[in-house]
Amino acid sequence: MSAIPASCTMGQMSDGRGIMNKVLLLVFALMALVPAQAHHVLGRPAYSLNEDSNTPPSMQVETQIGQYDVTYMVFPAFPRAGERGRVNLYATRLDNGQAFAGEVRFTVRDDKWFGDKHEETLGTQLPDDHVYRQGFVFKEDGDYIITAEFEADGEPYIIDFPLRIGQPAGVGPIGVTVGVIVLILLGVNLLKRKQLARVKVRYARDELPQKAREQ
Amino acid sequence: MIMTHPGLPENWAWLVMAGMLVGGIWLLLASVPKSPRMRVISLASVPLLGPVVRKLAASRGVLLLLKVLTVLVFLLVIVAGLFGTPIPERNLATLLTWNLWWSGLILSVFFLGSAWCAICPWDTLAQWLVRHRLWKRVDSGSSLNLRVPRWLASVWPALFLFVALTWLELGVGITTSPYATAGIALLMVVLATASLALFQRKAFCRYFCPVGRTIGFYSQLSLLELRPIDGDTCARCTTLECYHGSDTIEPCPTWLVMGRMQQNTYCLSCGNCGQSCPQQNVAWRIRPPSVEALHSARPHWDEAWFMIGLLALTGFHGLTMMPFWETWMRKLAQVIGDSGQLLWSFSIGLVAVMAIIAALYAATIAITKAISHSRLDFKRLFSTFAFVALPLAFAYHMAHNLNHLVREGSGIGAVFANPLGIDTAPLSMMEKHARSMHMWLSQDTLFALQALLMLLGFWIAVQVIRYRGGALLEPGSRWSRLRLLPLLGFAIGITGFHLWLLMQPMIMRM
pLDDT tens-place string over residues A65-97: 888 888 888 888 888 888 888 999 989 998 888
Q: How confident is the model at residue B357 (pLDDT cuts 50, 70, 90)?
A: very high
Q: What is the CATH number of the domain that holds A111?
A: 2.60.40.3340
Query: CA geometry: angle at B404 spanning B413 and B8, to 5°?
Result: 135
| Residues A125 and A58 occupy one common structural domain | yes
Inside any domain, residue A54: yes
Q: How far apart are CA B271 and CA B1, in angstroms?
A: 47
What pLDDT, on a 0 to 100 scale, did the predictor assign at position A15? 46
A142 and A178 in a single domain? The answer is no
**Percentage of chain A modeled with pLDDT above 70:** 69
- A46 pLDDT band (50/70/90 cuts)? low
Residue A21 lies in a domain: no
A71–B contact, CB cutoff 8 A: no
Q: What is the DSSP letter of B207?
A: I
Residue B1 confidence (pLDDT)? 54
Instruction: Quote the pLDDT of residue B356.
Output: 97
Average pLDDT of the segment spanning B17-29: 88
Range B201-230 average pLDDT: 94
Residues A161 and A62 grouped into a single domain: yes
Chain B residues with CB-CB distance to A185 below 8 A: 129-130, 142, 193, 197
Q: For residue A93, what are the domain limits?
A: 46-165
**Residue B18 φ/ψ region, left for φ over 0, alpha for ψ in the -120 to 50 degree band, beta for the rest:** alpha
Q: Which of A48-62, A159-173, B315-329 has the highest mean pLDDT?
A: B315-329
Q: Please give the share of chain B, as a percent, with pLDDT higher than 90.
A: 59
Instruction: Choose among A77, A184, A195: nearest Cβ to B194.
Output: A184
**A164 contacts in B (CB within 8 Å)?**
86
Give me the percent of chain B exceeding a pLDDT of 70: 97
- Over residues B166-171, the mean pLDDT reads 90
Cis upstream peptide for A79 (omega within 30°):
no
In this structure, the answer to whether residues A55 and A159 fall within a common structural domain is yes
Question: Residues B240-270, buried b or exposed e (16+ Cβ, 10 A)?
Answer: bbbbebbeebbbbbbebebbebebbbbbbbb
A80 in the same domain as A112? yes
Nearest Cα neighbor of B89 from B428, B480, B484 is B428
What stretch of H or E contains A104? strand A104-110
Residue A185 pLDDT class (50, 70, 90 cuts): very high
A82 and A117 in one domain?
yes
User: Between B243 and A153, where is the model more confident?
Assistant: B243
DSSP state of B145: -
Residue A147 within a domain: yes
At B8, the pLDDT band (50, 70, 90 cuts) reads very high
Does A28 fall in a domain? no
Pairing label, strands B282-286, B41-42: antiparallel
A204 found inside a domain? yes
Distance CA(A132)–CA(A88), nearest Å, equals: 6
Q: Do A196 and A101 fall within a single domain?
A: no
The reply to whether A156 and A195 lie within a common domain is no
Whether residue A30 lies inside any domain: the answer is no
pLDDT tens readout for residues A5-44: 333 333 333 444 455 455 444 444 433 333 333 334 455 6
| A21 Cβ under 8 Å from any chain B Cβ | no
Do residues A135 and A79 share a domain? yes
Greater confidence (B397 vs A12) lies with B397
Q: How far is B226 from chain A (nearest CA, A)?
A: 33
Provide the pairing of β-strand B282-286 with B224-228: antiparallel
- pLDDT tens-digit series, residues B288-306: 998 888 888 889 999 999 9
Looking at the fold, whether A174 and A103 belong to one and the same domain comes out as no
d(CA B250, CA B258): 14
* Count: domains in chain A: 2
Looking at A165, A186, A204, the residue that finishes a domain is: A165
The answer to whether residue A143 sits within a structural domain is: yes
Out of A159, A181, A195, name the one closest to residue B190 (CB).
A181
CB contacts under 8 A, A 115-134 vs B, are none
The answer to whether the Cβ–Cβ distance between A41 and B323 falls below 8 Å is no
Residues B71-96 have pLDDT tens digits of 999 999 999 999 998 888 899 999 99
What is the distance, to the nearest Å, from the Cα of residue B362 to the centroid of all Cα atoms in its chain?
A: 23
State how far the Cα of B52 lies from the Cα of B27, in Å rounded to an integer.
42
Query: Are A48 and B510 in contact, with CB atoms under 8 Å apart?
Result: no
Burial class (CB in 10 A: 0-12, 13-18, 19+), A197: exposed
- Beta strand A68-75 with A58-65: parallel, antiparallel or unpaired? antiparallel
Q: Does A181 touch chain B (CB under 8 A)?
A: yes
Check if B323 contacts A (Cβ < 8 Å).
Answer: yes
Interface of A with B in 85-114 (CB under 8 A): 94
The minimum CA-CA distance between A205 and chain B, rounded to whole Å, is 24
**A147 and A184 both lie in a single domain:** no
In this structure, is residue A141 part of a structural domain?
Answer: yes
Residues A160 and A181 in one domain: no
